A and B are shown apart, each in its own frame.
Chain A
Amino acid sequence: MTRSYEEINEKIRKGKAVVLTAEQVSEMARTMSAKEILEKVDVVTTATFGAMCSSGAFLNFGHANPPIRMERIELNGVPVSGGLAAVDTFVGATDCNVQNPTYGGAHIIQDLIDGKEITLEAWGKGTDCYPRKHIKTTISLETINEAILCNPRNAYQNYNVALNTSDRTLYTYMGTLLPHMKNASYSSAGELSPLLNDPECRTIGLGTRIFLAGTQGYVTWNGTQFNCSKPLNENGVPMGNARTIAVMGEMREMSSEFLRGAYFEKYGVTMYVGIGVPIPLLDEDLAHRVSIRNSQIDTFIEDYGHECDLIGKVNYEQLRSGEFEFMGKKIHTAPLSSLYKARKIAAILKEWIEKGQFELTAPVRPMPTGTSLKGLKEI
């Protein structure tokens, strides 16, 4: 059998759609075939809550009188982009002021969402049409025009596990890595993770409606560093950092329960973002894909102590167990992305769909195929 988006949405409108989270359906798959799952289930919700550095927000401040063409802009002392017209800016999540490196763009975005006032200071050279040269004022989500979260690369399909074979402690974006492989950290929601449940992005593309930081947002493009060339394991799952999505949403509807400014020691600022993606079960192939379990998802082990060498592989069941054996050693594992929050998101999205508040969208444009990553050459 097959099922169309329209059939699913009709059921959603009638409050009759059968929705399960990806964890629930993986459990179901222990005793049911993909065919049986397809017959029973319409939609599967997936989610993740993790550090996503490639995130940010477009803001439009409105014009002062007399107006200023803002060429250098600071928000709470953090320099942000002055390269967008007169009163637009892009706050990058990792923007920061070197004097105070623990507070940055991601914290500004969180503070705005929390309704806080932010100090805006801006300078311009002064032109005939924008005579003002300086302004210092406060802004909040209430006072400005647009506030649009726009994240160029979120929700990595899979991510390498980090450990450290060197003899010194490393402070990385994968957390504190203790020497001699005393710990390993991983950052994926595994069987609950969005792009692991639809590994070829058959249902995720431009225009896919998603849960984004507490509200309904959209997939707006393939994410940057979208990589289709990662090796697959025997279950067809890409190992390591593969596909990504670009997402957008209205900041005024978001909640800091699902978006947080963060600072990794000696690394810098980043942003925790909560994303949930619904997967429509259109056919047996998709029913099979969403049935994937942690034991069937592998990822590479990357040694941050030695130039990020890939030195092995491990699956998410092993990682979740709290330790795994590698090179004759028991290695303590810990997550970096929150499964606790991801589960909350998957449950909320499930409820939205069940209550008829969230319909599914077919991609307007599919994700690219055959992409690989380029490096950067030195001259």
Chain B
Amino acid sequence: MVKKVVVSFPADSASRPLIYELIKKYDIKVSIIKADIDGGRGGKLVLELDSDSDHIRQAVNFMKESGVDVTPLEKKISYDDTKCVSCGACTSACPSGALSISAPDWKLKFQPDKCVVCKLCIVSCPLKLFKIEFAD
């Protein structure tokens, strides 16, 4: 199975041996999807773990014991509403109804709980205001 997780580690934990251990000890194929490492102040990694479910569970426990925070990944769509012109182009493509525009004010409305992260809005916004975030 493949599982994506967000790993947040404090400044004093060493990240390199961690990944080494994941590969070596738990036989996991690790891909780093995103790395946000702030020199000296800890950081955040988005990892894709590929192995059988037992190994992944053990590996997640091991990381937690090593003092890092592990949470399953949720992708999140967001947009810059300060630049939005409420044209409606994104609502035309949105299949879930998360993006809508209607009377009375005809201002773009975004209901994140309805979003299925299909990413169609990212390509459909002519002002390129959407981005996908890896959030926990």
Contacts and interface: CB of A to CB of B under 8 A. Distances in A.
A270 B92 CA distance: 18
B14 interface: no
Chain A interface main SS type:
strand
A346 to B, nearest CB: 13
Contact of B88 (A270, A272, A335): A335
Interface string A266-279: 00001010000000
A103 to B, nearest CB: 10
B70 interface: no
Contacts of B89: 175-176, 185, 264, 334, 336
A260 B89 CA distance: 14
Nearest to A335: B88
A171 interface: yes
A176 B92 contact: yes
A255 B129 CA distance: 19
A260 B85 contact: yes
A116 B126 CA distance: 21
B51 interface: no
Interface string A354-367: 00000000000000
Nearest to A272: B85
Contact of B92 (A263, A265, A334, A341): A334
Contact of B126 (A49, A263, A322, A341): A263
Nearest to B94: A334
Interface centre among A178, A183, A322, A338 (most CB of B within 10 A): A338
A183 B87 contact: no
Contact of A102 (B85, B91, B103, B128): B128
A332 B120 CA distance: 16
A122 B92 CA distance: 41
Contacts of A178: 93, 95
Q: Which 10 A-B pairs have the closest CB atoms?
A: A334-B92, A262-B126, A340-B86, A335-B88, A176-B93, A339-B106, A265-B123, A334-B91, A176-B124, A175-B89
Given A262-B126, A263-B127, A264-B126, 10 more contacts: A49-B85, A175-B92, A175-B124, A263-B128, A332-B92, A334-B89, A334-B92, A334-B101, A335-B101, A335-B106
5 contacts: A178-B93, A336-B89, A336-B92, A341-B85, A341-B86
